[in-house]
Each structure stands twice: as C-alpha cells, then as structure tokens.
Amino acid sequence: MYDTISEYQFRDWFTANRPNNFSYDGLKALFNYLEEYEDSTGEKIEFDPIALCCEYTEYENIKEFNENYDYDCKTLEDIQYYTQVIEIEKSEGFIIQDF
C-alpha cells in the first residue's frame, strides 16, 4: 500500500519526528533525489522515514565527511567514487547514501 506525499508532508514529518537528521535544505534535496529516482526507474518508493534516516546521512562539508569515514577526499567527485552523493543547493553540504 502506497501513499503519495508532497515535499511539504515529507519535510513536515522529519521536522516533527526526526529534527536532527537532515536540515531543511537537505530534506528538499533528498525529496527531489527520491522523486527523480522514481521517475527515472519507474519504481515507486515507500515512504519509510526511519529507513531513510539509517540509509542517508547529511554532512555540512567534506571535512566532516572525512572525519566520520577517516578518508582524505578533496572533492565531491572523490566521495562519489564510494557512494551516491546528493548535493544541497547553495551550500557546501551534501547527503550521502551510507556505506
């Protein structure tokens, strides 16, 4: 059973229930990424916010990513070698699919 949710409902759920997982702009980027994935694959995604919290992590910058993973990546392209990267507009921040 699937229910279609809007970007507002998506952000609202996280803001009310998991406010520390993603920033406002991060939620917008993640929602757009998931919608684009659905459109390009034709596969519907079930809204499972706990799974999204476990599967994706937002970082403020590359330095924070490197500290968490103990890597020495210099660019987002370096990080893309390891995993999916979702860029956050007008920010140094980004979201990765955890690995």
pTM metric for this prediction: 0.92
| Position 9, amino acid | Q
CB 55 within 8 A of CB 66: no
Q: How far, in Å, are 7, 14, 60, 74, 86 from residue 25 at the CA level?
A: 11, 12, 11, 23, 11
DSSP annotation of 18 reads -
For residue range 4-58, what is the model confidence (pLDDT) as tens digits? Answer: 899 999 999 999 999 999 999 999 999 999 999 999 999 999 999 999 999 999 9
